[in-house]
A and B are shown apart, each in its own frame.
Chain A
């Protein structure tokens, strides 16, 4: 469902999601994500500099709760340090319609 890759030299956590991110899986994703962000911060000398990137290359559907996870995660890091990459067109459009593509830095 999600794979975490923490790149310590540039303080970036890449979360690569996969498949259909429905309401049923979001609770588990949210808990793992919070835990992982905590772990990364603990291992950093400058915790506030953590950058989080959601890679949605292999995601085909997102539920409302996943959008809320994106919003919540973006608020956990310094402005500009959250982005979403590799979204397929339908997912890009989803963020666009929700009016969040700029706020969440969707690419």
Chain B
């Protein structure tokens, strides 16, 4: 056994004792802990936001405050009345009673892009479901992540939570992460982060909910209110310098409205790059070795990225837009870029535009999020049917919209299920209800058809489905 296995074993031993003690608590005791953690997290929102930006150099502190608000206030509002302990539903007619049980120790991986908000969010939903957590915060966000965990832990302990209900990995290495991920004592991995990490979580042999990259296409239909759409897109794409994986990546329009959309973007601070500038931006935005975005530009201001690329921007530029005529290989900017950079597609027809959205959706963003601006219900319905996305946000900033709580009634979350396309078991926004095992107590209830049917008929070779219809399903 190497030192990583020993550290993992010690942490898991504590987590398992915490899980054991936690399962004795009732709903009221659990809710008291959750409320205390929410209050502490909410009250620390500004300090944690500033710490996160200072340490990571990513994003905008004022926007990180809003993320901390979503992760504390909005998440708490959505779970405060949720039943997560004991009998959570009882149906006398069906005879089914549902009982919630905790999962056990959860390994929560925290990304550098939203470190403190993700700690607050995961702490709340895990504690609400009586699961202890081992946090692993990205190596570039250790200080603020630790502080967020400390605040949550102290608040939880004051309210009667078990010792070690929240722990944090203090040593960062792939080996230790692997040792914890693969430990048989882990009940679930909640992985939010890069592709490699999410893949590792799924390969661990333990259950995992892993949410990796998105590649959100935005279709602006001819029926859309264009100035409103552009304002909404810019407010989302520049929010925290685009660090939310549900933020817009590509704008797709029909040629007939392209000029109007371009002019509106330009009026509101969008800067359209020429072909030469697109090449320059590609070089700094994409790592040629991996084909993925360069970590050095994630969550950086537009001026910083332009400087890096050697592009001169007008002073009031809010984001750069790269007009492209292809997707995938040869078009590096058509993939996910968590920075104030959009790609732009002008398509010959509506059909072409939707096909472009499909290609973008399937370029690394399957199951995640798609966005449409339209006032034609048929167009919205068709777009929603065609996209493979857990969330289709309509006339809404996609970053804030997909995370729920503020602009729609989606469950507030910082881990967004992406369905089987994203190798998830759900397309829902992850909350406390996903972190419980539901036991079903099934009382005997007579099946009228079964009781009135002579089951020896099944043994007769000549008994067909037609006979079944006339005998089994009769007298309905």
Contacts and interface: CB of A to CB of B under 8 A. Distances in A.
Contact of A62 (B18, B24, B160): B24
B24 A98 contact: no
Contacts of A17: none
Interface string B1-35: 00000000000010011111101100000000000
Interface residues of B, number: 15
A93 B160 CA distance: 20
A97 B23 contact: yes
Q: Is the interface of A mostly helix, strand, loop or mixed?
A: helix
A62 B21 contact: yes
Interface string A1-15: 000000000000000
A47 to B, nearest CB: 30
B164 A97 contact: no
Interface in A61-105: 61-65, 67-68, 90, 93-100
Contact of A95 (B13, B20, B164): B20
A65 B163 contact: yes
A94 B21 contact: yes
B163 A94 contact: no
B133 to A, nearest CB: 15
Contacts of B214: none
Most buried by A among B16, B20, B104, B160: B20
B204 to A, nearest CB: 19
A64 B164 CA distance: 9
B24 A67 contact: no
B16 A98 contact: yes
A64 B163 contact: yes
B405 to A, nearest CB: 33
B162 interface: yes
A58 interface: no
Contact of A67 (B20, B23, B185): B20
Nearest to B163: A64
Interface string B139-164: 00000000000000000000010111
Nearest to B14: A64
Nearest to B164: A64
A21 to B, nearest CB: 10
Contacts of A34: none
Interface string B178-221: 00000001000000000000000000000000000000000000
B162 A99 contact: no
Contacts of A67: 17, 20-21
Contacts of A64: 17-18, 21, 162-164
A23 B162 CA distance: 9
A97 B164 CA distance: 15
B21 A63 contact: yes
Given A63-B162, A63-B163, A64-B162, A93 B16 contact: no
A87 to B, nearest CB: 12
A98 B162 CA distance: 13
A63 B22 CA distance: 9
A68 B162 CA distance: 12
Contacts of B24: 61-62, 90, 94
A101 B64 CA distance: 45
B196 to A, nearest CB: 31
Given A63-B21, A98-B17, 12 more contacts: A22-B160, A63-B162, A64-B17, A64-B21, A64-B162, A67-B20, A68-B17, A93-B23, A97-B20, A97-B23, A98-B21, A99-B185
